[in-house]
Amino acid sequence: MLTAYRWELRKLASQKRTYIGLGAASVLPVIFVVVMALQTGGPYDAPLGHNLRRTGIALALVLLTFVSRFGAQLATALVAGDIVASEDAGGTLKMILTRSLRRGQVLAGKTLASFTYVVALLVALLITALVSGVIAWGFNPVTNFSGVPVSAGHALALTFAALGLFGVPLIAVAAFAVFLSVVTRNSAAAIVGTLVYALAQEALAGLVHLDFFRHYLLSDQFDGWHGLFQSPTEWTPVIRAIWVSAIFTAVPLVVAFVVFRRRDVAGE
């Protein structure tokens, strides 16, 4: 599995689409700071948006609200939705399966590579947001959702935790993209299907005004990090984001592995 994982990372590093999402994640915070510098207002109604122009630590957290609605899913789908289907389209999958690697190991390596890309996206966003935000507004305390000031150092640690928690449902999106990549054998179908999947959950959350239903949609788990910035810490959304996302990750991956292991590859 580790052998397959290393090869998949090498392939990702050689593909242009890999850098599209990373580039967008790196440029977005800079663009946001420039736009804020050119206007007097701001998205102060966004979660923790009242901290903008007071501290640069809040920039990455504010941006999470915007990227959670479409951008993060798109960047993830571009890579995860292509990772198996491209092998089918290029006719190279049968070559991989003739080597001394089991099918499960091959797909596990591809899946881990997709998850690694999700982590890389968030790291790119975090680094550029911190650098550009601190340069623009300084390294100052953050006022959390409860109106309690949080020291800059503590807020920075919570920001790392928030990005990690945000990555959990994003990995679930990547898992669904891998599933579609295996089942459809078509990159475009997998990418578009993943976006439809994410947008459908957003639509359901907006149409069904029941908190019980909405809390168990994957889309709602992107806001789980809000619990970290309350006093005292609200652990319910944090824990729910982890286990709900784990279910949304496990189910499509199990199906993908079953389909992939039974697949008939011509010339294999």
> Collapsing DSSP states into helix, strand and coil, what is residue 59?
helix
Residue reference for tokens 């908190």: 211
> Collapsing DSSP states into helix, strand and coil, what is residue 181?
helix
Distance CA 60, CA 176 (A): 26
Residue reference for tokens 């949609």: 217
pLDDT of residue 267 exceeding 50, the answer is: no
Residue 251's pLDDT is what?
97
Residue 234's pLDDT is what?
95
* Range with the largest mean pLDDT of 33-37, 213-217, 239-243: 239-243
- On whether the CB atoms of residues 221 and 136 are closer than 8 A, the answer is no
Model pTM score: 0.90
pLDDT range class, residue 268, cuts 50, 70, 90: very low
Question: What average pLDDT does range 160-178 have in this prediction?
Answer: 96
Residue reference for tokens 């020291």: 151
> Collapsing DSSP states into helix, strand and coil, what is residue 54?
coil
Dihedral (C-alpha) 9, 248, 260, 103: value to the nearest 10 degrees? Answer: 50
Residue 204's pLDDT is what?
84
Residue 97's pLDDT is what?
55
- On whether the CB atoms of residues 6 and 114 are closer than 8 A, the answer is no
CB atoms within 10 A of CB 153: 11
Residues 94-150 have pLDDT tens digits of 555 555 678 888 889 999 999 999 999 999 999 999 999 999 999 999 999 999 999
Segments making up each domain of the chain, as ranges:
2-262
Distance CA 264, CA 259 (A): 10
Residue 179's pLDDT is what?
95
